[in-house]
Structure 1
Amino acid sequence: MVADLTTLWMCGLPGYTPLELMDLSFDSGYVTIHNADTLARPRNLTIEEAIALLLGLDLVVQSMPPDRNDLKEIAQGLIDRLSLLANLPSRTRVDSNVNELIRTMITSAISKKQAVKIQYHSLYSDEVSKRTIHPLEFRVDGTHEYLWAYCEKAAGFRSFRVDRILESSISGPRTESFQSSNSTVANSITYSLQVFSRFRDVAERFSLDEMEKGSQSPGTSYSSQWLLRAVMASAGAVELTSPQEIRSHIAATASGLLDRYKAG
């Protein structure tokens, strides 16, 4: 509740200077909006503002718990009125691949400090795995929403794309204490690359600063699958010189692909 109220400090009328933002305070269970008269004044909306409100209301409806039909009816009423006044279709909406039941359950687990069992489709390995996580917060990066959590399987903190969580269930209360959400993972992989070409592409893919042709560039990763795919995607621009185990895996994968081309 406090986090939601704090968010309101960044809300207000277009312009978003201190003169247009909400001036509110909350104490002893009471919330006071000091500039309510200013915020309540009727105003004309531009087409861009109306669309933004419609999309925002649609996201609010999608994120509501299934049993809060009363709130959904209020939001839908606002959508219908706004659509009529702005001459826009009331079906203006944002399509999301996120299962709202999963999001609602994880949100509840965060507030109650509970562990969660999930079935997750990994983008790097293209595999579905089961793991127990301790969710901490949701984050948005670009166009995707991620869940930042401690993963028991990885023994460290990980981010999970929310739309790739296939199933979830409450595992129970947290039984472990974590140092902080910024802790480093103990089982990281240290590797070394030899760079031959496409320096800008390689620098962006592996987050390298300075390199010369044929030089050795060290790096760190938390996923052997990511490292394998990144080297394969570089298409000969780099060679992984260590560790040997992942080098062998890359060689076997490349050999298998060549065999498929020959067979086809």
Structure 2
Amino acid sequence: MSGRLSTRLSRLLNMVPYFLAHPGISAAEAADDLGVTTKQLMSDLNQLWMCGLPGYGPGDLIDLSFSEESIEVTFSAGMDRPLRLTSTEATALLVALRSLADLPGMVDPSAAHSAGAKIESAIAGVPAHAPAAPVARVEAPAVTAVRSALAGNRALRLVYYSASRDVVSERVVDPIRIVLVDNNSYLQAWCRQAEGVRLFRLDRIEEAVELPEPARPPSHATDEAAALDLFSGDSAVPLARLRIHPDYAWVLDQYPMQRIAAYPDGSVEATMRFATLDWMARLLLGFGSGVTVSGPPELVSAVRERSSAALEAYRALADTDLARPAIEEVGPA
């Protein structure tokens, strides 16, 4: 979850008890107390108005009477009472907390483990004042630096391993947020070297140093929907055109491909953006005859050349084996 979304969620959760304690307060006063603009507050109230308990009928949703002059909660849907979890709900929450703690950068692992320990204590009936077992902090220093830079709005110097190019590079970035893509957490940032938004997988950041200068990503780069795709739909990134055999249709689910046509024999034509020619050629060779490339020309040539080199290597190996003298095995006399 991004920092902006988590902040809004916390604000929404606190709004019901806040307005119950301040009935009839004006939007301007409430916005000032909550640290938001009046426009943002009214947007939050419209969102809150559609929240409530499962069932989500008129008697389950939070009900509000609000305008810029006066705001009042007319039905709290239980938000004014202490939370009581069933054993099933508590178990689900514990599993979610542990999953988050295992994903680099998504949350402070110490905070997640501490919350989990408190829930476990409550389930087991341990008094709330009982000391919790100490929790070891296992977060990588680079991930800690990334979270700190995001919280302080600071630029970062990264040493990063790129799996697609098999190289380690150093670059300065302006952090935007942490996102979750295919069960991996990434730092979304404006890369000053590439002059574009990039995703950096947190477990591949070898070193991160928080710089004393503020992060200044361009305004268009900070949009929530920006750059959640690994290649951002950037037209400058090469686009491969592929013909996929019916037996290899699974690759459409495993790789970021866009299907553009289907044929009577069951094969599918698709496109896929790639970072480097060498990486894409190696990927396609791994599919054998299951995936055929038709463009761009330089990728077709790279695949053809690598295929020819591989066949030649096999022929040379076969010739070597044939040239070896046969060894006659003689059994016991």
TM-score bracket relative to the smaller structure: 0.5 to 0.7
- In 2, the alpha carbon distance for the partners of 1:179 and 1:116 equals 20
Across the aligned residues of Structure 1 and Structure 2, the Cα RMSD in angstroms comes to 4.9
Which moves more between the two structures, 160-169 or 121-130?
121-130
| Kept in 2: contact 1:193–1:241 (CA 8 A) | yes
Q: Are the counterparts in 1 of residues 52 and 77 from structure 2 also a CA contact under 8 Å?
A: no
1:43 to 70, 79, 84: 84
Match of 1:179 among 216, 220, 225: 220
Secondary structure of the structure 2 residue equivalent to 1:192: strand
Q: 1:192 aligns with which of 241, 256, 268?
A: 241
The aligned residue for residue 138 of structure 1 is 178
Query: How many residue pairs align between the two structures?
Result: 244
Q: Give matches, 1:176-255, under 5 Å.
A: 177=218, 179-180=220-221, 181=223, 182=226, 185=234, 187-194=236-243, 198=247, 200-201=249-250, 203-204=252-253, 205=255, 206-212=257-263, 219=271, 221-224=273-276, 227-254=280-307
CA contact (8 A) 1:197 1:238 kept: no
CA–CA separation in structure 1 for the residues paired with 2:307 and 2:186: 32
Name the larger-Rg structure: 2
The match for 1:64 among 108, 119, 124 is: 108
Alignment of 1:3-22 (within 5 A): 3-8=5-10, 9=12, 15=54, 17=56, 19=60
Structure-2 change in CA distance of 1:7 and 1:256 (3 Å): farther
Give the drift of 1:16: 8.1
Aligned pair partner of 1:154 in 194, 197, 201: 194
Cα distance between partner residues in 2 of 1:36 and 1:104: 38
The DSSP-based 3-state class of the residue aligned with 1:207 is strand
Which residue type is aligned with residue 8 of structure 2?
Answer: T
C-alpha change, 1:78 and 1:65, in structure 2 (3 Å) is closer
Greater CA deviation, 57-66 or 238-247?
A: 57-66
How do 1:115-134 and structure 2 match up within 5 A?
Answer: 115-134=155-174
Letter in 1 for 2:287: S
Kept in 2, the 8 Å contact 1:195–1:211? The answer is no
Return the offset for 1:134: 2.0
Task: Tell me the alpha carbon deviations over residues 124-144 of structure 1, each in whole angstroms, 9 at most, x when there is no partner.
Answer: 234333332222111123422
Gapped regions of structure 2 (runs ≥ 5): 15-50, 65-72, 127-131, 227-231, 322-333
Counterpart in the other structure of 1:106 = 146
Task: State the shift of 1:189 in Å.
Answer: 0.8
Alignment correspondent of 2:327: none
> Equivalents in 1 of 2:248, 2:113: separation in Å?
55
For 1:127 and 1:219, locate their aligned partners in 2 and report how far apart those are by CA, in whole Å.
Answer: 25
- In structure 1, list runs of 5 or more residues that go unmatched: 24-31
Once residues 77 and 110 of structure 1 are traced to their aligned partners in structure 2, the CA distance between those partners, rounded to angstroms, is 27
Identity rate of aligned residues, in percent?
A: 20
1:157–1:184 CA contact under 8 A, matched in 2: no
Q: Give TM-score scaled by structure 1 length.
A: 0.64
